[in-house]
């Protein structure tokens, strides 16, 4: 299910045509894909009806096939979610953020964030590998800039005040 810039849609359809069948099936049956930003001044629109009760939302802001495949690989690899109440979702997100704050504090306290950077990069390198196999060319979204963003996020989380972490 796609809505948005038709140029992104053309690239999306092309990469789906190249996709291994299980990936293509998963994407078309569980994802709402929105293409935004290229030459866009803005628009308002409703979301299309999702293909299932708990659709995965994919937002694409470029026509680069490597990036499109990378994001679709995340969507394909994501575990199926069972429908949950909004409150349950919020609690799970809060618990996950608490765990990330605790891990960031431990990494910064030990002056060793490398293991946490590797852990955060794992799903990204996996999506890059799937996208590379899919397109038959190297897709690498995990360069120095991504590393620096992850380290900055770890330091931000470690420095966060309040009760985000379980040790406060």
Query: Which residues would be at the binding site for Zn ion (CB under 5 A)?
Result: 124, 127
Q: Which of 43, 44, 51 is nearest to 1 (CA)?
A: 51
Q: Closest approach of Cβ 146 to Zn ion, in Å?
A: 9
Q: Which residue of this chain has its Cβ atom nearest to Zn ion in the complex?
A: 124
For Zn ion, the closer of residues 62 and 106 by Cβ is 62
For Zn ion, the closer of residues 55 and 127 by Cβ is 127
DSSP 68-99: HHHHHHHHHHSPP-----HHHHHHHHHHHHHH
For Zn ion, the closer of residues 25 and 77 by Cβ is 77
Q: Closest approach of Cβ 139 to Zn ion, in Å?
A: 10
Q: Closest approach of Cβ 124 to Zn ion, in Å?
A: 5
Helix axis angle for 86-109 and 114-135, nearest 10°, is: 120
């Amino acid at each position: 299910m796609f809505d948005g810039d038709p140029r992104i849609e053309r690239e999306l359809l092309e990469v789906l045509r190249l996709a291994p069948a299980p990936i293509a099936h998963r994407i078309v049956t569980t994802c709402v894909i929105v293409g935004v930003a290229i030459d866009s001044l803005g628009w308002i629109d409703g979301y299309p009806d999702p293909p299932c009760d708990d659709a995965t939302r994919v937002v694409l802001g470029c026509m680069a096939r490597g990036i499109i495949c990378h994001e679709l690989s995340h969507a394909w690899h994501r575990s199926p979610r069972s429908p949950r109440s909004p409150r349950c979702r919020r609690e799970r997100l809060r618990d996950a953020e608490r765990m990330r704050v605790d891990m960031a504090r431990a990494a910064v306290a030990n002056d060793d964030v490398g293991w946490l950077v590797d852990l955060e990069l794992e799903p990204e390198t996996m999506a890059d590998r799937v996208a590379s196999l899919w397109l038959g060319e190297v897709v690498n979204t995990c360069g120095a800039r991504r590393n620096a963003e992850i380290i900055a996020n770890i330091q931000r989380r470690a420095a966060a005040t309040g009760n985000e972490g379980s040790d406060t």
